[in-house]
Amino acid sequence: MIGFIVKRFINYAILSAIATLSAYVLASLILNPAGRYLGRNPRPSDETINAILNGLGVNPNTPVVARLWTWLVNLVTHGSLGDTIHNTSVISEMAARAGTSLRLLILGTIIAAIFGVVLGVWGAVRQYKASDQVISYASFTILAMPSFVIGILLMIMATGLNNILGMQLISFTGEYTAGLDGGWWTLFLDRAAHLLLPTISLALMGAAGYSRYQRSAMLDVLSADYIRTARSKGRTRGSALVRHGVRVALIPMSTYFAYSFATVLAGAAVTELVFSWHGMGEMLVQAITESDINAFTGAILFNAILVLIAGTLSDVVYAALDPRVRV
């Protein structure tokens, strides 16, 4: 079992590393950091621009391989990811933003997983009954919405609710109310209120996807011979499905979790942008619009590490659930 997980971890680590490095190379080839200075008035001299770009290590005149090497050496020797175009270090920028993104991601994923599994199992057991139809159509509808539409619809609804109540019950712009005074408790409540809509938005999307997958995994299990065996021993149908069925139907979910995680990341980034959160998603998009190669690579590295963790975690769950992979 340890061997299996170590192998999968190494596999994910290599994939994440290569993804980050190729992101760096691609960004270096596509983005033009010099463009930002050329449009300035007065236009800085070529020497100045070159000096700035050299300082950041993003001068297009240096071969990409050489720049990549410098970047890598910096990372290994100083633990540095270089500076952003605003002359702050990428690491500090990430440190300021990572918490915001993680809060949303972790909460959203956990809620999505719980609801997805429960609704999926329920739908499968009640296949083609009214409750299954409702769950199915609801999840299809949610899956048919881009994440920004969900976010904006939630905001429209919250505005409506706030108007009806005549008070700011649900806040949804930004991550907290700027300049709010008060004790620890007030600040916590404020943050929780701001967290509500983005989390719902992310959890809705995740739960819709997971429930469809869990439903079909559970349907496969419903017809399995061992359910029949469990019933022949004296279990009722419901108890056989719970004790024997769900346990087995969770196994493919752990793999699906790893594969769907990239989608979740994209959804989280979009959600951050829609709700004006200063998270890693915003950093990534801003980096591209500002042609900031170092910041972009940093953001990608952050995502790659999350994929690495999520992938390994799902393999641990997989190995824990399925005795057949335990060597």
Does 219 bind another protein (CB under 8 A)? Our answer is yes
Point out which span in 41-49, 108-116, 180-188, 264-272 binds another protein (CB under 8 A): 264-272
Instruction: Name the residue nearer to another protein (CB basis): 193 or 248.
Output: 248
Q: Which of 132, 190, 290, 322 binds another protein (CB under 8 A)?
A: 322
Q: How far apart are CA 84 and CA 81, in angstroms?
A: 9
Point out which span in 50-58, 65-73, 115-123, 259-267 binds another protein (CB under 8 A): 259-267
| Token pair of 22 as six digits | 């190729």
Q: Measured in Å, how far apart are the chain's first and last C-alpha atoms?
A: 5
Instruction: Name the residue nearer to another protein (CB basis): 11 or 187.
Output: 11
Does 146 bind another protein (CB under 8 A)? Our answer is yes
Q: Which of 25, 145, 316, 317 binds another protein (CB under 8 A)?
A: 145
Q: How far apart are CA 160 and CA 166, in angstroms?
A: 10
Hey, which residues between 66 and 95 contact another protein (CB under 8 A)? none
Point out which span in 47-55, 113-121, 185-193, 281-289 binds another protein (CB under 8 A): 281-289
> Which alpha helices (H) appear in 223-292, and where do they start and end?
225-233, 237-240, 247-274, 280-289
Q: Which amino acid is at 318?
A: Y
Instruction: Name the residue nearer to another protein (CB basis): 53 or 221.
Output: 221
Q: Which of 47, 265, 283, 294 binds another protein (CB under 8 A)?
A: 265
Q: Is the dihedral of CA 24, 28, 29, 31 positive or negative?
A: positive
* Number of residues engaging another protein in binding (CB under 8 A): 77
Contact in structure between 173 and 277 (CB atoms under 8 Å): no
Does 307 bind another protein (CB under 8 A)? Our answer is yes
- Whether residue 42 is preceded by a cis peptide bond, meaning omega within 30 degrees of 0, is yes
Which residues are 83's β-sheet partners?
A: 89
